[in-house]
A and B are shown apart, each in its own frame.
Chain A
Amino acid sequence: MKLESKVPTGPIEKSWDKHRFELKLVNPANKRKFKILVVGTGLAGASAAASCAELGYQVEVFCVQDSPRRAHSIAAQGGINAAKNYPNDGDSVWRLFYDTIKGGDFRAREANVYRLAQVSNSIIDQCVAQGVPFAREYGGTLSNRSFGGAQVSRTFYARGQTGQQLLLGAYSALMRQVGAGAVKMHTRSEMLDLVVVDGAARGIITRDLATGKVERHAGDAVLLCTGGYGNVFYLSTNANSCNVTATWRAYKRGAAFANPCYTQIHPTCVPVTGEYQSKLTLMSESLRNDGRVWVPLKKGDDRKPQDIPEAERDYYLERKYPAFGNLVPRDIASRAAKQMTDDGRGVGKTGLSVYLDFADAIKRIGLDKVKEKYGNLFDMYHHITDEDPYQQPMRIYPAVHYTMGGLWVDYNLMTTVPGLFCLGEANFSDHGANRLGASALMQGLADGYFVLPYTIGGYLTGNKLPKVTTDHKAFTEAEGSVNARTKALLGANGKKAPSVLHRELGHVMWNNVGMGRNAKGLKEALSRIPEIRAEFWKNVSVVGSGEDFNQTLERAGRVADFLEFGELLAKDALVREESCGGHFREEHQTPDGEAKRDDEKFAHVAAWEYKGEGQEPARHTEPLTFENVHIAQRNYA
């Protein structure tokens, strides 16, 4: 397998313009002859589908929810970055590029990240034009706030509902095309396999989740915009239906899976309380703008927070990282919280949380201002915990949040399978080993509005694509394997709900492959996961049939894929003998407990190639070079 990044040569500022110019164009009259299948309607999928339909391509779109508007992007709270420099605080495309590369601990591809920073400003303009109600200053201009990992205020937001508003913008653009007949929308449809004909992606197999009908769809290109795989940990901040199925099936059909071990643990989530929990709720990182993080100085201090005097509190982020304080990047804040609780200074019943305190902010800017900025987040916290954060500090703890790994893509966002593109959180490309806040929304929309619409043209004109219909034997074969799997799931006839086995996998993943990882734990995980997988196929209980609406069957299929994928994740983590970003190998740390990278051995992307059932996958590497940003130890002190 060859990993050709296709990054243009020459100065980085010119790369994208040069590349765009060199990409062949599709004649407008020919565009309607091409059909593009878009899987996923989050920011990446909805924006790509709307843009491609605008250009004149035939577009068919699929999502698992009952409406494209419910894609998981809807849940993003905090905001979206852009290098507008409206606050005149020294921001620039170059600085956004620099912060993102450094924030990702030098494990992302420079040219991609530069392009992301470059198009960031157009994203805001596009969304404003769509009627996204971004927060405004009294004079009518756009407001900004700051976010973890940055010293400038470059984050645009719509209360604590930025993802919702951006997604509704992209959804409305998509609905406009649906109304115009340019997009055919398939809701409650799950992609269960990829169809490859003569080495190129030419279609997908889906299951209509309402009727159970298995369908074949042929096209000239397939875009996977299916989001992240954080739910491999069972508990995460992701929505229930976030899964790895589409990308995992593509992997099995030849798409390389890059850096699966790069998982982001978000520092400010509602802590775990019990076994019954189905998800962990994120409290936006923007809270760290005004909230101060602390734990008691003394171990086991179980006084009420109000009763602990200033002198007996440890504002550990401000103490350890004076330059960034509470706004250090997520990996740093998460690990620091873990250190505090490991040290026995955690708070709450379980001892597995730290305080996020707004008392000072309320004194400084007033209750009303705090309400205006964070009100809905406070309400959300109150709903979940029954504690009033206006009266007492919130309790927070890190939780699995975002996955930087994903299908390997080149500069055109194409995977190692020609014609198969991957956008948004589902690909690996722009965040390296750690994603800075407010940059996933940016990446999803950059990919969908401003990158893919160009690069897809280059693919469609540059390649001979013979007509393929759904009677082709590759479709028959793929549909056959989907049916066989459904049959196997229904036939297991066991005693355990898929969620029970998913939880077992989650425990292993969190304990051994979570915030801190070491060789021993990873090897343990690698022996436990196949055991759980074996138990799954023997003992899963899927009642009902494949011919109608069957949520247990849906769930079981996704868990089955997590049970395979989790193993690859652990393998990747074991081989990467360094700490970088959200991947913290305990064997590799500096004397003061910070992540220690090994650039000599690991300044590369690791991309895994599927070699067949029961075979060891092959690990390939794409070397990363840093010509524009000087590679250095990350230091936020």
Chain B
Amino acid sequence: MNITLKVWRQKNASEPGALVQYDVKGIVPEMSFLEMLDTLNEQLLAKGEDPLAFDSDCREGICGMCDLIIDGQAHGPDKGATTCQLHMRRYKDGDVVTVEPFRSKAFPIVKDLVVDRSAFDRIQAAGGFVSINTGNAVDGNNILIPHDKAEKAMDAAACIGCGACVAACPNASAMLFVAAKVSQYALLPQGQPEREKRVLAMREAMDAEGFGHCTNEYECEAACPKEIKISNIARLNREFLRATLVSE
């Protein structure tokens, strides 16, 4: 099958970009979307043309590296899936598909479809951890965690840090990402000692990075490949409120 792509090309952060059209031939339905882009790149290289830059690594939906806006949707049309999990059987011969980078002020463009998401690392460095030193932990079974609590914490912990929530949000808010981390720790006994400090520090770091505010658009939840629930944002807000009360 043949597909027409309209792809965002941009040399670097300072130069303007534009959509460029490519016809990709010889696509089979079993290919993943990224494998289709690989095919295009091999064709471009054979002609000595500059291939498309895009990020990916694990290609199985877990590393959080792939990040495309496909026809206006972060990670493309499939629900609960990353870009690398999207397959070409979704498309038919002759389709025209637009591919753009995750856009947000806090994620500057590196080249073409590649953006810099290091703001997420800085938010984590501000407080997304339990301060425990190596070598002094008590036996794991000394910390009992009810099955359901552990499962809920795991639901939140499943965030892969891809940034689709930011890209999908009209305000480019990072609330879902931050909420996932804060929720995981808030639900677990290990997270309690730094509970207030953590939420305050992470929220502050998030604002400092230039992410927007949450106005309950629900776009993040819809775009999230790991189906992180918006209820985590409610918990984040409660945690934040609680922390401001407790710490004053």
Contact A69 B161 (CB under 8 A): yes
User: In the bound complex, how far is the Cα of B122 from the Cα of A185, in angstroms?
Assistant: 11
Residues of A within 8 Å of B87, CB to CB, are 383-384, 386
> Which of chain B's residues has its CB closest to A181's CB?
B125
Cβ of B246 under 8 Å from chain A: no
Smallest distance from the beta carbon of A128 to chain B beta carbons, Å? 4
Which residue of A175, A210, A386 is within 8 Å of B121 (Cβ)? A175
In the complex, the answer to whether A67 meets B121 with C-beta atoms within 8 Å is yes
C-alpha spacing A497/B40, complex, angstroms: 11
Q: Is the CB of A386 within 8 A of B118?
A: no
Q: With an 8 A cutoff between CB atoms, is B35 at the interface? A: yes
Residue pair A136, B150 in contact (C-beta under 8 Å): yes
- Among B93-101, B139-147, B166-174, B206-214, which stretch is in contact with chain A? B139-147
Q: B30 contacts A210, CB within 8 Å?
A: no
Does B157 make an interface contact (CB < 8 A)? Answer: yes
Pair B61/A128 contact, Cβ less than 8 Å: no
- How far is A122 from B132 in the complex, measured between Cα atoms in Å? 13
In the assembled complex, the Cα of A139 lies from the Cα of B143 at a distance in Å of 11
* Complex Cα gap A137–B146 (Å): 7
Q: CB-CB < 8 A to A552: which residues of B?
A: 41, 45, 51
Check: B34 CB closer than 8 A to any chain A CB.
yes
B46-A278 in contact (CB<8A): no
Q: Are A161 and B150 in contact (CB under 8 A)?
A: no
* CB of B4 within 8 Å of the partner chain: no
Q: Could you give, for residues 118-139 of chain A, a 1 whenever the CB lies within 8 Å of some chain B CB and a 0 otherwise?
A: 0000101111111101111111
Q: Does A465 sit within 8 A of B, measured CB to CB? A: no
List residues of B (21-55) whose CB comes within 8 Å of A's CBs. Answer: 28, 30-32, 34-35, 38-39, 41-42, 44-46, 48-51, 53, 55
Partner of B117, one of A67, A74, A75: A67
Contact status A124-B140, CB under 8 Å? yes
When distances are taken between beta carbons in the complex, the residues of chain B under 8 Å from A306 are: none
| B12 & A548 in contact (Cβ 8 Å cutoff) | yes
Q: Across the interface, do B117 and A383 meet the contact criterion of CB distance under 8 Å? A: no
- Chain A contacts for B32, CB-based, 8 A: 278
Per-residue A-contact encoding for B189-204, CB less than 8 Å = 1, 0 else: 0110000000000000
Measured in the bound complex, the distance between the Cα atoms of B139 and A126 in whole Å is: 9
Task: Establish whether residues B31 and A276, one from each chain, have CB atoms under 8 Å apart when the complex forms.
Answer: yes
Q: Which residues of B contact A460 (CB under 8 A)?
A: none
CA distance A122 to B145 in the complex (A): 19
Binding stretch for chain B, among A94-102, A165-173, A329-337, A565-573: A165-173
A549 with B130: CB separation less than 8 A: no
- A316 contacts chain B at the CB level, 8 A cutoff: no
Q: Is the CB of A126 within 8 A of B134?
A: yes
Complex interface: chain B residues within 8 A of A70 (CB): 57-58, 63-65, 161
A 421-453 to B, binary, CB cutoff 8 A, 1 in contact else 0: 000000000000000000000000000011001
Nearest residue, chain A, Cβ from B50: A543
Q: Are A179 and B117 in contact (CB under 8 A)?
A: no
A187 contacts across to B, CB distance below 8 A: 118, 121
Q: What mask results when residues 121 to 141 of chain B are scored 1 for a CB within 8 Å of chain A, else 0?
A: 100111111111111011111
A66 to B84, CA, bound (A): 17
Contact between A497 and B131, CB atoms less than 8 A apart: no
**B-chain residues with CB within 8 Å of residue A217 when the two chains form the complex:** none
How far is it, in angstroms, between the C-alpha of A497 and the C-alpha of B52 when the chains are bound?
13
Q: Check A122–B135 contact: CB distance below 8 A.
A: yes
A126 interface neighbour in B12, B60, B137, B157, Cβ under 8 Å? B137
A: contact size bracket:
35 or more
Would you give the 0/1 interface string for B98-120, flagging 1 where the beta carbon is closer than 8 Å to chain A? 00000000000011001011101
Chain B residue nearest to A164 (CB atoms) is B62
A495 B46 Cβ-Cβ under 8 A: yes
Contact of B60 among A172, A380, A496 (CB under 8 A): A380
> Which residue of B is nearest A82, CB measured?
B140
**CB of A230 closer than 8 Å to a CB of B:** no
Q: B185 touching A69 by the CB < 8 A rule?
A: no
* Interface status of A541 (Cβ within 8 A of chain B): yes
B60-97 contacts to A, CB under 8 A, are 60-65, 78, 80-81, 85, 87, 89
A131:B50 contact, CB within 8 angstroms: no
A66 to chain B, nearest CB (A): 6
Contacts A125-B139, A210-B116; A276 near B12 (Cβ below 8 A): no
B residues near A24, Cβ cutoff 8 Å: none
Per the 8 Å Cβ criterion, residues 152-187 of B in contact with A are: 153-154, 157-158, 160-161, 184-185
Contact between A172 and B140, CB atoms less than 8 A apart: no
Partner of A276, one of B11, B28, B121: B28
Residues of A within 8 A of B57 (CB): 65, 70, 72, 239-241
Instruction: Chain B residues near A136: list those with CB within 8 A.
Output: 145-147, 149-150
Interface centre among A84, A128, A138, A450 (most CB of B within 10 A): A128
CA distance A176 to B57 in the complex (A): 25
| Distance, CA A48 to CA B203, complexed state (A) | 29
Closest beta carbon of chain A to B75's beta carbon, Å: 12
CA distance A158 to B184 in the complex (A): 13
Q: A122-B135, A276-B31 are in contact. Are A210 and B46 (CB under 8 A)?
A: no
CB distance from B17 to the nearest CB of A (A): 14
User: Given the complex, which residues of A lie within 8 Å of B137, measured CB to CB?
Assistant: 122, 125-126, 128-129
Shortest 10 CB-CB distances between A and B: which pairs?
A140-B144, A179-B125, A172-B129, A129-B137, A125-B137, A128-B140, A497-B45, A136-B150, A131-B190, A176-B129
Cross-chain pairs A/B with CB under 8 angstroms, 6 sampled: A66-B116, A70-B64, A74-B63, A125-B139, A142-B141, A497-B46
Query: 5 additional contacts, CB 8 Å, given A239-B63, A279-B59?
Result: A50-B134, A72-B63, A125-B138, A133-B145, A140-B147
